[in-house]
Chains A and B, each alone.
Chain A
Amino acid sequence: MRFGVVVFPGSNCEQDVLHALHYLGFEADYIWHQDTELSGFDAVILPGGFSYGDYLRCGAVARFSPVMNAVIRYAEAGRPVLGICNGFQILAEAHLLPGALLRNRGLKFICQNVPLRVEKSVCQWLELAPGTVVHMPINHNEGNFTCDKETLKQLEDNGQIVLRYCEPDGTRQPTGSAANGALDDIAGICNQRGNVFGLMPHPERATDGISGERDGAAFFTAISQTLLAV
């Protein structure tokens, strides 16, 4: 199992992702944003950071990096793609995932460890039981997920909502449990096929236990099981 971690100019979580993957015993290497060959990788991860300085819109310029044409073809072939934080924003800009990430509602950059509830979904990247509460850090200024009502209904009906912000006991406040104001408390979504997954929280920072959390490991290990089962 060999992961590829795409490095855009301005990415800054690629080392954390690589470290987490190595810690879990996986092979993993960087993919430069100008590379266009992904055939040697079993899964591709777009890490967090500030690709192209977040200019214009987060992820808007990275989406047209040479590597992204390859990532789009890779995703359309049903192969696994994960976008974390800025990587999620890039996947949304590339229309590999629906919706968009707006500035946080509370006007603040948010950096904190948050509880998240696993939803029943078709996501191939996660095999935790629905209702499981995990803890991972969020670290973003534009994590306020939004989409139109029709898209939200499709996400719900197709089992594409993977992760929601919640209270520590797994419940959700009627006024919303997302510190960033995300629609329907959505923290992570996948495409209809379940091979493309984007989330704002950082599983790579909650994998080796240094930050006090290990819940993130499950976000990297399940995909290898899924691939083995194919």
Chain B
Amino acid sequence: MSKRYEIFVTGKKGIFDPAGKTAQNALDNLGYAGIESLKIGKYIQLEGADSLSLAQVTEMCEKLLANPIIEDFRIEEVGE
């Protein structure tokens, strides 16, 4: 038995995202019209013992995996 979590870390609203902006400009240059915003974040897969609780994973995000000053995070528990 194990638990799996997917974690999405994204820049807080209003925090400039140079990587996203660069990719957006590149798509503009490739001729794709209509893109209003492109943000690049982090996707983390975490797998562990069944006892690994959502509260623990939340604490991991607050402590290390995300920086609450500049980033938001969202955790999803996924099936095995």
A147 proximal to B (CB < 8 A): yes
A103 touches B70 (CB 8 A): no
A100 touches B70 (CB 8 A): yes
A122-149 contacts to B (CB < 8 Å): 144, 146-148
In the bound complex, how far is the Cα of B19 from the Cα of A181, in angstroms? 14
In the bound complex, how far is the Cα of B18 from the Cα of A230, in angstroms? 45
In the bound complex, how far is the Cα of B71 from the Cα of A146, in angstroms? 12
A102 touches B15 (CB 8 A): yes
Q: Add 9 more A-B contacts to A60-B64, A107-B18, A107-B22 (CB < 8 A).
A: A56-B64, A100-B67, A100-B69, A100-B70, A102-B15, A102-B16, A105-B18, A107-B21, A148-B69
B69 CB contacts on chain A under 8 angstroms: 99-100, 147-148
Name 9 interchain pairs, CB-CB below 8 A, sorted by A. Answer: A56-B65, A57-B67, A64-B64, A100-B69, A100-B70, A102-B18, A103-B19, A107-B21, A144-B16
Q: How would you classify the secondary structure of chain B's contact residues: helix, strand, loop or mixed?
A: helix
A11 proximal to B (CB < 8 A): no
In the bound complex, how far is the Cα of B70 from the Cα of A80, in angstroms? 27
Q: How would you classify the secondary structure of chain A's contact residues: helix, strand, loop or mixed?
A: loop
B13-27 contacts to A (CB < 8 Å): 15-16, 18-19, 21-22
Which of B15, B19, B65 is the one whose CB lies under 8 Å from A146?
Answer: B15
A146 touches B70 (CB 8 A): yes
Q: Which 10 A-B pairs have the closest CB atoms?
A: A100-B69, A100-B70, A103-B18, A107-B18, A107-B22, A57-B67, A100-B67, A105-B16, A105-B18, A60-B64
B53-80 contacts to A (CB < 8 Å): 64-65, 67, 69-70
B67 touches A93 (CB 8 A): yes
Per-position binary interface string of chain A over residues 176-220, scored 1 when its CB falls under 8 Å from any chain B CB and 0 otherwise: 000001000000000000000000000000000000000000000
